[in-house]
Amino acid sequence: MGQFILNRILSGIIVIFGISVFSFLLIHFIPGDPVKIMLGQNATPEAIKQLNENLGLDKPLLVQYTTYITNVLQGDFGTSLKTGRPVITEILDRFPETVKLAAAGIFIAIVIGITLGIIAARFKSSFIDSGVMMLATLGVSIPSFWLAILLIMVFSVKFTWFPIAEGTGLRDLVLPAVTIGVLASTMISRLTRNGMVETLSNDFIRTARAKGLEERIILFRHALRNVLIPVVTLIGLQMAALLGGTVIIEQVFNWPGLGTLAIGAISSRDFPLIQGTVLFMGVVYVMINILIDVIYGIIDPRIDLSAKEAR
């Protein structure tokens, strides 16, 4: 297992290297002169020259990247053009709020998704199963911004139970977390239901029932554990995506996370901040994927990670 984890870390480093190249070239992909875009059409030649020197854009591309990646490895992601603060400081100020929102949303998604998936599998081919799958299909089809606005209209405007974009407290967290949780739970419920239906038809389940085990024990101890691997994979990918910033939800609820930070950086043409945010999101995504692989072996000891790597 140690060798497998080491190999996954090495492959993750290669992926992060690719992301660093992409984030570095981001400023060079933009049509026209990025410095003129940042300063505006009325910028003087002296200001353009000075910003080119400050950003190192007057040097060869390879020299620029070497300087960029060296600074990044030392924790220097550059300086925000808008605020004048270090980019890493801007990111770390917002990241805890994104973690809070993502954790709350994925917790709701796990509770709703797995519960509905088990219920649907337990009552396979019944109206309960059909109802749960109908809700799951509806949830996949609903745009996140539409559900967010609907929740605001009902619970903030009509009943005034929750505030609208007033802060980052517990009451402010409820509606955005529920929006994320409800939408993310739809895929979890479908995957759980399909896996449970297949597992419940296996011989070892019939043997367990023949021994007189309670249905609750059969469902949770025997069946659910066997379908956790794909479910954990899905949850991990969803969590990684959420930690990268839930752009639409954060914008609707004015939640000060990485999503709103990225949108603000793009709007203000703050390219150092855009570069840093893209790289940081990529690193988080890779780390979550490595963690998922490690969790596999904890959930199901039968999985030989070394053999998996060898194949």
Q: Are both 57 and 173 inside the same structural domain?
A: no
Note the pLDDT tens digit of each residue in 102-145: 999 999 999 999 999 888 888 888 898 889 888 888 888 888 88
Does some domain include residue 87? no
Q: Do 18 and 145 belong to one domain?
A: no
Question: Does 265 lie in the same domain as 126?
Answer: yes
Residues 152 and 265 in one domain: yes
Tens digit of pLDDT for each residue in 200-220? 887 787 887 787 777 778 777
Range list of H helices, the chain: 2-29, 34-39, 45-55, 61-73, 87-122, 127-141, 144-151, 170-200, 203-210, 215-217, 224-243, 247-253, 258-267, 271-299, 305-310
Q: Is the pLDDT of residue 305 over 60?
A: no
**Interatomic CA distance for residues 177 and 113, integer angstroms:** 14
Given a cut of 80, is residue 90 above it in pLDDT? yes
Measured distance CA(113)–CA(143) in Å, rounded? 18
Structure tokens given for 305 = 């990670």
Pair of tokens at residue 175: 């509606």
Mean pLDDT of 233-238: 84
CB 95 within 8 A of CB 258: yes
52/109 same-domain check: no
Residue 310, in any domain of the structure: no
Say how far apart CA 238 and CA 235 lie, in whole Å.
5
Q: For 84, left (φ over 0), alpha (ψ -120 to 50), or beta?
A: left
308 in a structural domain: no
Is 82 inside a domain boundary? no
**CA 114 to the chain's CA centroid:** 19
Residues 145 and 258 in one domain: yes
The secondary structure element, H or E, covering residue 301 is none
* Calpha distance 273→176 (Å, rounded): 25
3-class secondary-structure state, position 311: coil
What pLDDT does 110 receive?
A: 92
Query: Is the separation of the CB atoms in 27 and 68 below 8 Å?
Result: no
Residue 154 has pLDDT above 70, yes or no: yes
Here the tokens at position 152 are 């605001």
Same domain membership, residue 291 and residue 235: yes
Token pair, residue 170, equals 């517990």
The chain-wide mean pLDDT, for the chain, equals: 82
Q: Which residue has the higher pLDDT, 120 or 42?
A: 120
The reply to whether 147 and 279 lie within a common domain is: yes
Count of structural domains, the chain? 2
* CATH number, domain containing residue 136: 1.10.3720.10
Please tell me whether residues 69 and 98 are part of one structural domain: no
Domain termination residue (choose one: 10, 44, 73): 73
Residue 59 belongs to domain spanning: 2-73
Write out the two tokens for 211.
């021994």
30 and 149 together in one domain: no
24 inside domain: yes
Measure the CA angle with vertex 242, ends 238 and 247; round to 5°.
Answer: 130
Pick from 68, 131, 102: which is nearest to 272 by CA?
A: 68
Is the whole model's pTM more than 0.75, yes or no?
A: yes
Q: Are residues 292 and 147 part of one domain?
A: yes
* Residue 86, beta-bridge partner list: 79
Q: Is 155 in the same domain as 50?
A: no
In a domain, 116, yes or no: yes
Last residue of one domain, picked from the residues 30, 46, 73: 73
